[in-house]
Structure formats: C-alpha cells, structure tokens
A and B are shown apart, each in its own frame.
Chain A
Amino acid sequence: MSEGSRSSSPVEELEVKSDRSGSVEPDRPRLGGRKRPRAVDPDEEDEDQNGAGVKEDEEKEEGAAAEDANNADDDEDEDEDEEDEEDEDEDEDEEDEEEGGERQRKRRRKHKKKYRFLDVEAEVDDEDEEEDEADDFGDVAGFIDEVPDEAVSQDDYAHRRLDRATGLNETQDVEAIVRGLKQRHLKSAAAKYNPDSDQIPQRLLMPGVNDPSLWQVRVKPGREQNVCVSIFRKVFALQYSANPIEVISVFYRDSLPGMVFFEARTSASVSQACQGIIDVFVSRGISLVPIEEMAPLLKIKKKDVSLTNGMWVRMRRGKHTGDLAQVVDIEQITNGVAGIKFVPRIDLTPREKKKDRLANGKGAMTGAGSKPPARLFSYDDVKKVYGRGSVRPIPPKGYIFDGDEYIDGYCFKDVKLNLLLTEEVKPTLDEVSRFQGEEGSTANIDLQAIADANKNLNASGLFPGDKVEVYEGEQTGLYGTIETVTPEVIAIRAEGGDIHGQIVDVPARSVRKRFDIGEHVKILAGKNADVSGMVVEVKGDVVTLMSDQGEQEIKAFSKDVRKAADTAGGTAREGLYDVHDMVMLDSATVGVITKIEGALLRILDQNGTVRTASPQQVTLRRENRDFAVAPDSQGNNMRVGDVMKEVDGDYRQGEVLNIFRSLFVFLFNRELTENHGVFVARGSSLIPVTPKAANDLAKMNPALNAQLPFGGASLMPPPAAGPNRSRLINTLVVIVKGTSKGLMGVIKDVVGDSARVELATNNKTLLISMASLKRKDPKTGLSYPLEAAGGGSYGGAVPQRPGGGYDINPYGGAVNPAANGGQTPGGFGGRTPAARFGQTPNPYASGGFGGGKTPNPYAAGGRTPANGAWGAGGKTPAAGAWGAGGKTPGWAGGGGKTPAHGFGDGGKTPGWAGAGGGGKTPNPYGAGMAGGRTPAPAGSMYGESSSSRFGNGPPMSAPTPYGGPTPGMMGAPTPAAPSNPYSAPTPYGAPTPYSAPTPFAAPTPGAALSAPTPGVGLGGPTPFGAPTPYGAPTPYAGASAASGPAAPGSEAVPWDWALDFRNVIVEIGPSVKPSTRSPLHFQRGALDGQVFGYDDIIGESMRCVSISDPSTSEVVPAEYLRPARPTQPGQVVVIIAGDAKGQQRTTSYENDGQWMMEAEAGDMLVLPGESLCRIWKA
C-alpha cells in the first residue's frame, strides 16, 4: 500500500473493513499489498519478556492478546489464499486502531527496525536512544535472529554503543540527563507527521474541520451493500465526465443497518450521488455526522458472530419467527448462508385450504394468519394432506416437500445469516428438550446439544471457587476449582491427574460447572431462579435438584446453578425477607411469606388469603418468635415450633411458624401443597400433636395459675368494644324513640353504635341508634333492653354481659350456679324471646349435666360458633333438629366414637369427649326426644324435662349459647333425673369436690355440680365441648384430651384415680397425667407392665408392693398407675370411675369389654372394664 493511498483519507482505509469478506471491494487495488513484517515476531516476544521502563505495563496487558492475534493470523495465513491474507491484514489494522497503544508500540518497533538499515551511529542522540538503553538485549537478540550473518558487525556495534552510553552517563550531570529526557519525550509526544513514514500517529489521522465531512443517508435496511456498490459504479462511471461526483468514499456499517455514509465536502455531492439509486431515502435527509462522532462511528464494531455447528439460533422472519434452530452446516458461511435445522411448522389443515391459498397466489406454506404448530415432519401425515405427489423421498430417509428438505422430521434449510438471530438466543431447557423430541424421549436428550445450547456461556456465570469441569479442548476431562476469571479465559487449579494442583488457563466457554450429588445448590437464573435444593442428579449440563421448599424436582442448567451454603437454611432470601417471615401488610394485617419469586413475595395473610406483594409493600414484623404464645384449644400455651393439629376442618397438622396476636397461628407442613405448606389457623382450634408438657414454668406454677382468670384459656380476652354485632343481628327489635317509634324490625347489621334495622312494616332498612332500640320478644311481645335481654331471661345467672360474652367462662366464678339452677326453668320458658334464642341451638345444654362440660364458645374469644349460629339463626330449624333427630356430627375433643352402653333409658349413647382427641361423635341429640338412641344422660334429661321446661315452642329450639351451657343452670333442674350417670363423673378428677364419687342418687346433682368451678386451673376442658348439632365447628371442640370423665365408657379414669383408693391392684405404665412434666415412663420403663399391690399413699405417690415378689416395694407416683382390670368373673372390684365410683362389686360376666356386676340390692350394673379395678387384699 502506498503511503499516499493510506494517508489520503482515514475513512477510505476503513471503508472496506465493513465489507463482508468476499464482498465486492471496488477499491481493493488501492489497498493492495501491505504486508505485515512477520519476521519481527520473535523480536516482539523478546521485547515482551525484557520490556522495561515505561512500556512494560502496557505490554503486559496486551501481550497475550497480541500474541493470540498473531498466532491466529499465522495459522490462517497458511491455510488461506492471498486474498484472504489481505483481509487478515486489514483485520489487523482494525485491531491496531482499536488498541492505539499497541499500535504505538508496533510503530516504534518498526522505527527501530528501520534503523537497522540506516547508519545508527550517526544518530546517537536521537529519540531511539532510550529504547536502546532499555532494550539492549532485545535489540541484540533481534539482530542475531534477523541477520545471523552480520553477527560480527552487530557485536561490534553493541560494544560501541555500550561504551558510548556509559561514557555519556559519566560525563553528563543528572540535571542534564533529566533535561535531555524531558526534551526527548517532549519531542516524541509532539511527533510530527512524516510523509515518508510507513506509520502515522493515530491522532493525525483523526478527521478535522479541514477534512471532508461525513454524511449519513438512510437506505432500506438490508440493501446497504447494494446501494454502496451502485454508488461506486456511478461515481466511477462519472469520474472523468464533465461533472464528476465529488464523493470521496461511501461505506456502510454492519452494525448500523439502514444507513450509508458518504465522505464528501458538500451535501450536494451526496444527493447527486444518490440520485437515481433505488432503496436510498434521500428524502429522509442527508445528515452531517459531527466531527467528534466520526471516529466513534467507525469504531462501533459489530460483534463477530462465528457460527459453529450445533450452535443454537433463532429465526427472524416468516412463520418460524422466534423458533429455535440449530446450525448444522457452516460451509457456506462465507456466502452469508448457513444450514440450519429446525422443527417445521407444516400446515396440516385440509388440502383445499392449500389449494385456495395457491389460487390466491400465495405459497403453500406462507399461511398468513395463524402459525401452524411446530411438529416433526411426518411423511404419512403430509402425504395424507398434500397428496403423494407433493412429497418426494430422497434416500436414505429424507423427503423433499414444498422445496424444503426434511430429515428425521426436521427441516433442513439454508438460510441467510441475516434471517438468523445469533445473539441472546438463550434456549430454555424446555425448548431444547422439545427440539430433541417429545416428552417420552427426554431420556435421550442429546447432551451435546444442550452443551451447545450453552456455548454462549461466558465467564459471567463463573466465580472463583466454583468447581468446574473442562468438557472440550485439549484439557477435556480436567476438573478444577476456578482461581481467577477474565471474560474469556479462566484459570483453574486442577484437581487430580498429572497436573494436580497446577493452575491451568482454559477458555471460559469450554468449562461447565460441576456439582456433586447431594450438594446444596441454588438456582441463579431461569424460571426457577432463587430456588435452592439438593442435587440428586447431574447429567451433563443438566442438574436435577430436589427443592428445599416444596417437594419437587427441578432441572436446571449447571450454568444457572451455584453452590449454596449447606447451612443457609435452605431458604431463598430476598433482601430483608426470608421465607416464613412474618410481615405486616397493613397495620392490622400480617402475613407469612410462603414463597419468594424473584422480587415478589407470596404472602398468606391472617385471613387465609394469598397475596403477592413486592418487598416494598410490606414491612418486616418485629421478631417475636421467641416470645409469641397463644392458647391452644385446651388453653395450654403453644409456641413457635410446636407441632399442632387442627381439631376441626381439615385436621391439618403443622409446625407453628409464627403467632400473631395470640390468635392467628401460622403453621407449616411441607406435605401440604397449598401455599407451599403454610396455612393459618386460630390458636383455639389447634391441639398439640403430641401431648406436650407445658414448657413454661409459669404454667406449672399453681400460684400463677390461680391468677389466670379462666383457667388460662383466655389470657388475652379479645377486644370487647361495643356490642357484639353478630350477636344482635337478626334480633327482633322495636324502635322506641324517634320518628319510627313503635315500628318493629329486625337488626340486619350493626355499625358502631347504630344498627341497620329492617322494618317489618314496609321492608325498609333504617340506620337507627341502638339506644332507641329494644329487643322484642316475638312470643310474648314484651320488650327488653337490647343488651341485657338475654341476661334477664336467664335470671341472675347471666353468664353473658353486654359485650362481655366472650370472656365469660361458664366455669368461672361469675356464674352462680345455684341461682341459675333455681331460675333456669324460667329462663327456658316462654319468657325468653325466641328471637334471641332461636338462633343458637345449644344441644349441649345437656352437656351441662355432664358436670361442667359446657361448651363456652365464647371463652375462646375469637371466632365463635355463635357467630355463625347467630347469622344462620333464623334459618336454623332448631326445633326440627331436635325433634327429627337430624344426625349431627359433633366434634368432640378427638376421641373416637364412644358409645356407652347401658345407661338409663338410652340405648346406645354416644359419649362425648371420650378421648378428647378429636373424633367424630354422633350427636346424641339427634334422637334426643325420640328416645330411641337416647344419649343416656342428656337424653333422659331432655326427655324428662322437655315437657316441663322446654315445651315445644320455639324457645325450646333456642338454647342460648350464653346462658345455656352453664353447668349449674342445667344441673339444677334435674333433680328428678332417675339415674343420671353424668352427675357423678368428676370432670377434672382434681381434688375438688368432684373427685369424690358422687352417687347418682345424690338428690341434686346439679347443684353439686354447679357448686365448684371446675374450670379454674384446668383449662376449662369441656368434653362435651363445642359440638353443635349443626356441625358448626367450635373453638372448644378440642376439649381436653385428658379429661373425659364424663364419658362413663372410656378412659374416663383420671390420672390420679389411685389417690382415692387403697388396697387395689395396680399396673405400672406410661404416665397418663396430662400436661405432665414428668418423664413418660417411670424409672424409664423399668417397671412398666408389672403388677403391684397398692399399699399406702405417700404424698402423691403410692407405695406399691410387687404381687409377684412381695419383698419388692416401690414408691410410684400416681400418674403411672393404672387399675388392674378384672380378668375373670367373681373378682372383687372397686368402681373407680363413673357414677358408682367407690362402690365395691363383684364381677359377674364380661361382654365386649363391659362387665356385668353381680346384682346388689336390686341394682344391676354394667360397667366398662376400664372403670374397674381389682381389689388387692380382699
């Protein structure tokens, strides 16, 4: 290349670069033949090694790259012809320009080389000196390398120069040297343009104001090259005409589609050049490129896309737009064409359609409108639709259809490169596997294909410390840990093999991350980003992991996976928030994060609704996991971490994650799929899965316990602000003040202090202050104050106060049982407004008989069945239920069915509360009145009293949730109950008056029952618990697992039964004491199963003498003792539970676990074996 052509215009030099190789290059001759002096290479390397002084840094940085480039050049040069070589050189030029520094260096080197052919000694003080000083040996080596035959003269030269240098240094003083250096550098910095030089400083090539301007013209995208060629031709054609086109150059850039640039002095020349050329949009303006943008414009470099076989691309146009394709043929890549393979989208709709389309002049396959689905080519299908003639088989197993070639179902096609999207392809695992075949054949996923899919993996996903495997190249199979990462090359410390411990550089693209099975990893990208789990399988590039959060397997590319800390908690963390954290959604709503999806939090709030929120929308709730406590259905405390179970509904079980306001409990069970295993429940509807000892000491402290108002059940009474709205709804009222005075209506809603009253007269709904309302008894027509009405009807024994109904515990001292008892009949009688009671059937009023097993739906405070019942009130055919005996499953604490036999008039009596564990118990009242299946105690009770007390009127159907369930109240009116077995059981077995066996004959068992306040200290277990005949779950359903004393038939024996008896035979077993802190087994089970005679009592323990070995005696706490059941007829037993407790009988015969006692005084008893204990020394 001549200097002139090179220097004439920087743009000219560049213009061809943009041309694709092989494209037309009209000005090639001007560029001809500058060849890089390759012989210099060794020199270069020496320099790199010995490089000193100022150049050192610069060279180090670039050494590798330069070397690479040179090597590459060399290789290619060998392979390719002359023309290609020229291209190479041009490429190199480009490189030079991009890296100005390097160029400088080369130029300098070339200067130096130049001096080899000049008389160097004549230029002692020239700018070259510093270099000489610095590069002594390099120079020498260069010379030796270059011209070995001149060795002698070189040697001579070197010596002389050395002498001279030393001499100079000696003679000059330091200042002079510095000055000289400065001078020299000044000079070099202001190097002048030397037309004779082969090299021009980059700066001087920069365009200035005096240079021709650059003009940009819009053209049709894709036609840039043709436009350029046309303009070239036009310019050349007119070159020697009268008015030549004053355009110096024209070029386009691949990186800037739709633009062509002209180098010209005036825009007029440009428009002249463009005139008559198609695809040029001169009308869109000829814009001037600012001078400062000219060089950057040319620097913008389209990233070289090197297509390789197996690479994934996407198609850009046509019906396959966006479809994944694989490059299979790159032989014609130089022609801008690549062979690709993809899943075709052949329209298999009927042939007529195709004909229509053909008739319309469209191609068969260019279906406008909808895209046919992508599916593999099937000869049969296509033949069926398009006819045999349309498909031509080509051996061995290909087909030609519609001009395209199909092999193995894939379409193979040569397409232009510009129809392919090669960047940001990012094939997903899904797509790749679909490409590889349908679901069934996932097993044979071509690993290579997937590896290829990740060809684009650069170092971005790699971090020092990652374990990687080299899967291609000469280091294939090498394992190692990444030491350093640069964009293209990573250094890994090899593991194993010959080079163990060495650091090896490998291309970043030829490594993949390696994971061991069992490793705890996290997914960084993709649709499962942020999921962590443990690796269960690694297959090539695909890692299968078992998610920590949900039970699911996830597949991910290994490039998207990172090792996670083993102890990271297995949770994905998004900034502040962690899975299962409790967050505030607003001041009254909290939720627990169930999943973190990228930047979104999925939250389950206290009401059970799922929300999605961004971290900004929520605030982290103060961490209270350590302190949060809530009462469970038994009134025991539960804490975060306890495993609890629902006592109703779905019986879900889970570990407590968090507790909100001691009411809402968030639980987690990984086996639930809903909400990723998180669910919310009321504390009062939960029960521990394992009867767990109350952990907090406060609970065990009797003193503290006594202070707890309601047996600890409601440590935190719910806010009792204002009237209970739901309680008032559907109440029949009369308006006593204001314009509507005298009108009757029904309360439909309560809003603050006002109520919305639906008038009976004209079907209007008015908002009326509650102060102007009075409750109306529909039966009697009497009016009562709105709030006190219920209480009044119950006679002083109101367990319900206005607004305070919730925290009334029937067991609390508030109830005056005696008073209740006395007045109850009245309470139930006609005086009670039906509207008030009709809505809350309380079949369990009878439960009261059982000795304080009254559900107090309000004790729980939160959701109460009453709410529902009230709401449903009017519609509830309470009476019907009673009479017809609708079968209503009641939710007892959890025992199974406990039919108790042989009670009074009852046939089978489902006992309530049996095991307190939460089973279903048929409603004993279903048959109540009918008396067929009479729940003995209750049934008889009702049977007796129904006529007298309940009558048949509506009130009867209206047991109140408030008043009804007080034991005293119920108890009182049953003195006449002939054999009320329920009067006897001691509900809590505690040393209360109850523990004493109460003969059923007690004249007023009710009174007796009502006297104590059994609830206190016992958490108010109500075995008869909440069951409502209508199936509404009640918070109290749980009842106490421990206390089932009311059920004569079951494990009703209190744990401390033994304290009441002497001289019986006992067996040692696990502790039966509920909520005990004692170990489960006495002496760790050493004595379990052994039979002892119970000799004496020592405090709460018994001295027991072994039956088998009378010399052995042990002191055993009562809770480990269980009664020795009768084994055969004729044994003398004592009844330890039930109403006949304390009686001594003799067994007669046994049937199905029930023992018939020998008749005594005209009385025959059948008792379950459980409530019998053999007497030791008869």
Chain B
Amino acid sequence: MFFLRELSHTILLHPSYFGAQLEDYLRQKLYEDVEGTCSGRHGYIISVIQITDIGEGVIVPGTGQARFKCRYTAVVMKPFKGETVDGKVVNVNKMGFFAMVGPLQVFVSSHLVHADMRFDPNASPACYRSKDEIIQKDTKVRMQLVGCRVEANDMFAIGTIKKDFLGQIRED
C-alpha cells in the first residue's frame, strides 16, 4: 500500500558546497539518499514529493561539515499482510516463484498455488502450468500477501495465489 509520509533525513554537507547552490546540493543529495531506499519502519521510499524543510545547517565541530535535517514528504510503499498486489514474475523454480511488486520481492510457494497448477521444469523457461494458466518469468500475477518479513532495511513477503481471482493477469 502506498502512503504519503512526512519523514526526515539528516545530511552532512562538505564545506566545499557551502555557497549559492547549497540548497540544490541538498535537494539533490536528499533525492539520492532516500529515494529507492527501504526502511523496515516506513517501507520503500518511492519518491520524494516535497521537501518541507531543508533545515538549518549546523556546523559539526571538528570536520567543518554542516548537518542539515531535512524534512520531506515522500510516497512510501509498505506491504501488509493480507494485501492483494500485482507483480511481475522474475524467477520460477520448483519451490515456487518470485515476483517483484515494484521494489518488493514476493515469494509464492508451490504450496500456495492452486493444486491443479504444476511445476513444469521441462518448459523453457520453467513455469507453473495449469489448464488455463501459465506462470513463467515475466508473467504478471496478482497475489495476496500472507506474510511479510521486515528487516531493518529490507522487506520480503510471501504471497499466495491459491484464492479466487488471484494468479495470472491476462493482458486482454
């Protein structure tokens, strides 16, 4: 699920940047530092929408660097148990398949696919196949998350397609 969150980030800026373009540097650095990162608490920071407050620079004694505490609003993505998400399969093996939901990796175990869906190791690429569905690399799938493991800077989820309306998403 996506949220708008007000977050803050501390930037240490080298004195050589103190100048007219200081703010630009800060902005740039903020974008670089936070966009695409993941924190267990907030989820994946997808994009910084707005920089609320660039902060006042405080010189750190000793190094001469300035510390800015920027506050910004960002779109974050945080997966939740029970959430239904769409993703793209990146890897299929006999244990199940991995799908990426944006930055989030979701594993769907072979136990969590329909019983009539079988792993077909001989197909190229390997796939899960049932009468009317085929899941292989790059297939788009809809999954429901049944569990999330959240680490300090990473997330991992387990999904199921063993329910109605889940599974392969057809383009047509």
Contacts and interface: CB of A to CB of B under 8 A. Distances in A.
Most buried by B among A517, A671, A695, A1078: A517
Given A517-B112, A534-B147, A536-B109, A546 B32 contact: no
B166 interface: no
Interface string B134-158: 0000000000011111111100101
B95 A546 contact: yes
A704 B16 contact: yes
B82 to A, nearest CB: 9
Given A704-B16, A1077-B28, A546 B151 contact: no
B147 A697 contact: no
Interface in A554-598: 566-567, 569-570
Interface in B102-158: 107, 109, 111-112, 145-153, 156, 158
Interface in A404-436: none
Nearest to B98: A551
A552 interface: yes
B92 interface: no
Given A534-B149, A537-B111, 7 more contacts: A517-B146, A517-B147, A520-B147, A546-B107, A552-B95, A698-B14, A1079-B28
Interface in B25-56: 25, 28-29, 31-33, 40
Interface in B75-118: 81, 91, 93, 95-96, 107, 109, 111-112
Interface of B: 12-14, 16-17, 25, 28-29, 31-33, 40, 65, 81, 91, 93, 95-96, 107, 109, 111-112, 145-153, 156, 158, 160
Interface string A512-548: 0000111110000000000000111100000010101
Contacts of B111: 536-537, 544
Contact of A536 (B13, B150, B158): B158
Interface string A1086-1097: 000000000000
Contacts of B147: 516-520, 534-535
A1079 B31 contact: yes
Contact of B32 (A535, A537, A552, A695): A695
B148 A566 contact: yes
Given A518-B81, A534-B158, A553 B95 contact: yes
A566 B17 CA distance: 41
A693 interface: yes
Contact of A1077 (B14, B32, B146, B151): B32
- A-B complex: 9 closest residue pairs judged by Cβ atoms: A518-B147, A518-B146, A536-B109, A697-B14, A537-B111, A701-B16, A517-B146, A534-B158, A518-B158
Contacts of A698: 14
A566 B150 contact: yes
A551 B94 CA distance: 11
A569 B152 CA distance: 7
A703 interface: yes
B17 A697 contact: yes
B158 A517 contact: yes
Interface residues of A, number: 33
A1055 B93 CA distance: 42
A567 B151 contact: yes
Contacts of B14: 697-698, 700-701, 704
Interface of A: 516-520, 534-537, 544, 546, 548, 551-553, 566-567, 569-570, 641, 671, 693, 695, 697-698, 700-704, 1077-1079
13 contacts: A517-B160, A520-B149, A536-B109, A537-B112, A546-B95, A551-B95, A553-B95, A569-B152, A697-B16, A697-B17, A697-B65, A698-B14, A1077-B29
A693 B29 CA distance: 10
Contacts of B109: 536-537, 544, 546, 553
Contacts of A700: 14, 16
A463 B32 CA distance: 46
Contacts of B12: 697
A535 B160 CA distance: 12
Nearest to B154: A570
B72 to A, nearest CB: 15
Contact of A518 (B16, B96, B148): B148
A519 B16 CA distance: 50
Given A536-B109, A697-B14, A546 B31 contact: no
Contacts of B16: 697, 700-704
A537 B153 CA distance: 26
Contacts of A569: 151-152
Contacts of A552: 95
Contacts of B32: 693, 695, 1077
A737 to B, nearest CB: 54
Nearest to A1084: B47
A617 B148 CA distance: 36
Nearest to A564: B149
Contacts of B40: 567
B112 A536 contact: yes
B158 A567 contact: no
A570 B158 contact: no
A567 B151 CA distance: 5
A585 B56 CA distance: 46
A569 B40 CA distance: 10
A565 B147 CA distance: 12
A1079 B158 CA distance: 33
A701 B25 CA distance: 12
Most buried by B among A516, A518, A535, A553: A518
A698 to B, nearest CB: 6
Contacts of B28: 1077-1079
B101 to A, nearest CB: 15
Contact of B151 (A570, A671, A693, A702): A570
